[in-house]
Structure 1
Amino acid sequence: MKKKVDVIILVLSVVVVILSITLLKISSDPQPKLIGSYQSETMPPDIYMLSFFQDGTYEVYENSNLVDEGTYISTDTDEAYLIKSEQENQLIVLSKDDNFYYYSPDQSVYLMKNLDKYPVSLGEPN
């Protein structure tokens, strides 16, 4: 009987340690920050790229043409950002996978995926 209790305690201890390590890893994974270049995964003619710079500005490109620029700010949560320009005001919610949904001016929805944490500026507005 004593051996049975010892085995049960050992198994439960191992399970608790494994769960603790897993939960610690999950809770310690930081929320990504909205910075760098993000691009839609669509076929032409509508490919969007948004570049977010460290100074709080961003640029929107459609098919490599600069079509808008503005500012962005973090909200009270780690994953939500408000982007503002003369053409748009919208809330972006950044996922743990460093992706977000973007509503284009014609209200189409695009999944934007991070290309790189270094933002790219392609040029002047058209």
Structure 2
Amino acid sequence: MILLYLMVETYEELREANSRKDNIRFLLTKMTLWGFLFGLLLESEKVIALTLGNFNLNWLLAPAMILLVFIFIPRTYVLHWFGVEDPFYIWMFLVPDTHMVLSILAGVLLVRSLSPSE
């Protein structure tokens, strides 16, 4: 519940900062972090098993790490690097809704890549 509250608060701060034309990079990174933590909490049973020492690496670690790198790059940098007329695979990191879904997915994938198979 607290994490959802923090996500909503950060979203409101982001809207206000965007309307004032402030620097929003920190807020975008914070929002990505909340989404990533939410993804970790979705797999809370496996997170508990990981803290108890049940580690088992699998092939999901590579996609999880690649996705982690991409989601923590603020979209303002992506726009600067690639411009505004880019293909879908670039735009999926720019739309806030898909960015949040990818952040949650990165958290879930990371936990599943480190936990033993069921």
Which of the two has greater helix per residue?
2
Bigger-Rg structure (1/2): 1
Between 1 and 2, higher relative CO (CA 8 Å, sep ≥ 6) is seen in 2
TM-score norm. by structure 2 comes to 0.24
Which of the two has greater strand per residue?
1
TM-score norm. by structure 1 comes to 0.23
